Amino acid sequence: MFGNNSYQVSHQRSPVDLAYRLVDAAAILAAATIAVGFTSGDQLPNLAVIGAVTLLLHVVAIEISGLYRNWRGSNLSLELWCVLINWLYTAPAVLGLGLLTQYNAKLSYPTKVMWLALTPAAMASGRIVLRMLLRNLRRRGFNTRQFAICGVNKLAVQLARNIQNTPELGLEFVGFFDDRPESRTEESLGENRPHAGNLAELVQFAKAGSVDMIFITFPMRAEERIRQYLRELGDTTASVYIVPDFFVFQMLHARWNQIDGLPVVSVFETPIRGIDGVLKRGFDLLVGSALLLLAAPAMAACGFAIKLTSPGPIFFRQKRYGLSGEEIRVWKFRTMRVCEDGPNVKQAAREDDRITPVGRLLRKTSLDELPQLFNVIDGGMSLVGPRPHATAHNEQYRSLIDGYMLRHKVKPGITGLAQVNGWRGETETLEKMERRVEFDHRYIREWSLWMDVKILIKTALVVLRQENAY
């Protein structure tokens, strides 16, 4: 996956791989021992059966999820997230088997809750400790491999810098290799670092065992040169990787896929699918329903105030683009004397005479957005995501801003990353809309459930400060 900036290297079963399995097994057995220890002594004989079944199902789930892959260079949070997802497969299966066989029928609920919570925590702790140990060993020169880079360009320099800034990878840099003269590549290096040699010299290095891994960073248009290097390097035992210059595109959560064995890479993709989509939807329903119940009295008061102070409906529903550009109708409290929803919609501005006195208060406190909780419950919106714009504004900006419509790769939200970073309110200049779209793209690239939680917390602070609200 490109989105997490990891450089993962596949390998056969190794001592590190065995260490991961032993750490997980120890964590599972330790958690079961502690949890069962909360029950009476006559339940302890069941520990062996519970531990063995948990280990067996854990191994099966791991083969499905691919948890035992090389995590060298991967983000720790991604690894821990995979541990949690794997446990969500394993725990229900163990509980179900225990219920059918009556092995856990006499275990108390506190014991089961402790077991459910302690096992993933123990596995995560074990992996953190193992990472720290491997990092220290690799910094001391153990479990290291030598790598070289073919091509001298910005991508090559960035790759070398990323790997060298991540010592836990255990990769030692041999140098840049390029058949072009140094006079043509000095500017690309930018660090006055000389070539280590040309292609012929690299082949000799690899044959002598001085290079274990080789990264080719030529641009995609240099197909013939890439083929030449692959032909020559095919006579060595070094592992060879092509690093495509996809950075020239605006990539959104790109990942590798296969279509009947043919590898493809997605350039524009949503991060919220599969189990992530289920978790985000569950989070929206749970938190959205709770917020709707808490906000009900305030919403009733807002409705009465609107009806008593100005003629017209309480609610205003406006056409906006939702997920994949599909049209949705967004609920809001009416704050203006007009209900514009046509091909031309004027954005609300400071001192806008269309806004009613009550409407101005509602907009300043963001209470006018509360009805969008209905959109969250029915699935058209999310609590957090790119703010939906009026369809008229979408049609205006999609031709002015590159990648504007990519913000619709996820559901629109009541609040978003742009709004908590100062890009809330009127976008009277193209630059302001461009900055908002940049944050929307960043949200899609970096999304996580924890990011949604942080944005909701920051939103409350922004609303209290009443920033850019009118």
Q: Give the residue-averaged pLDDT of 101-110.
A: 67
Q: What is the dihedral of CA 247, 248, 251, 256, to 10 degrees?
A: -60
Kindly state the percentage of the chain with pLDDT values over 70. Answer: 73
pLDDT tens string 251-270:
666 666 666 666 666 666 77
- For residue 84, what pLDDT is reported? 79
Q: Give the residue-averaged pLDDT of 96-109.
A: 68
- For residue 75, what pLDDT is reported? 65
pLDDT tens string 298-327:
999 998 998 888 888 888 888 888 888 788
Is the pLDDT assigned to residue 290 strictly greater than 90? yes
With beta carbons less than 8 A apart as the criterion, state whether 37 and 97 touch.
Answer: no
- For the chain, what is the mean pLDDT? 77
Q: Give the residue-averaged pLDDT of 187-193.
A: 52
Average the pLDDT over each of 50-54, 194-198, 387-391 and give the range with the smallest value: 194-198
Say if strands 213-216 and 145-150 run parallel, antiparallel, or are unpaired: parallel
Tokens coding 217: 């960073």
- The SS3 of residue 19 is helix
* Nearest alpha carbon to residue 197 among 183, 208, 181: 181
| Greater model confidence, 461 or 382 | 382
- For residue 377, what pLDDT is reported? 93
Kindly state the percentage of the chain with pLDDT values over 90. Answer: 11
Is the pLDDT assigned to residue 192 strictly greater than 50? no
Average the pLDDT over each of 314-318, 409-413, 450-454 and give the range with the smallest value: 314-318
Q: Give the residue-averaged pLDDT of 147-170.
A: 82
Residue type, 270: T
- The 10 Å Cβ neighbour count of residue 371 is 23
* Nearest alpha carbon to residue 74 among 23, 9, 22: 9
- For residue 386, what pLDDT is reported? 92
| Greater model confidence, 338 or 170 | 170
Cα separation, 441 vs 92, whole angstroms: 36
| Greater model confidence, 255 or 96 | 96
* Nearest alpha carbon to residue 82 among 184, 13, 8: 8
pLDDT tens string 369-400:
899 999 999 999 999 999 988 787 788 888 88
| Greater model confidence, 266 or 206 | 206
- For residue 344, what pLDDT is reported? 56
Cα-only R_g, the chain: 28
Query: Which residues, at least 6 apart from 70, have a Cβ–Cβ distance to it below 8 Å?
Result: 8, 9, 10, 11, 16, 17
With beta carbons less than 8 A apart as the criterion, state whether 148 and 211 touch.
Answer: yes
Residue with tokens 């917020």: 291
- For residue 412, what pLDDT is reported? 93
> Would the pTM of this model clear 0.75, i.e. be above it?
no
Cα separation, 373 vs 333, whole angstroms: 12
- The 10 Å Cβ neighbour count of residue 113 is 12
- For residue 5, what pLDDT is reported? 38
Average the pLDDT over each of 129-143, 202-216, 226-240 and give the range with the smallest value: 129-143
Is the pLDDT assigned to residue 416 strictly greater than 70? yes
- For residue 13, what pLDDT is reported? 47
Cα separation, 445 vs 442, whole angstroms: 5
Cα separation, 12 vs 70, whole angstroms: 9
Cα separation, 465 vs 364, whole angstroms: 10
Q: Give the residue-averaged pLDDT of 276-293.
A: 89
- For residue 452, what pLDDT is reported? 92
- For residue 287, what pLDDT is reported? 92
- The 10 Å Cβ neighbour count of residue 238 is 22
Is the pLDDT assigned to residue 231 strictly greater than 50? yes
Residue type, 389: H
- Domains recognised in the chain with CATH numbers: 15-139 (no CATH), 145-248 (3.40.50.720), 275-465 (no CATH)
Find the helix packing angle between 47-65 and 76-101, rounded to 10°. 130
Is the pLDDT assigned to residue 284 strictly greater than 80? yes
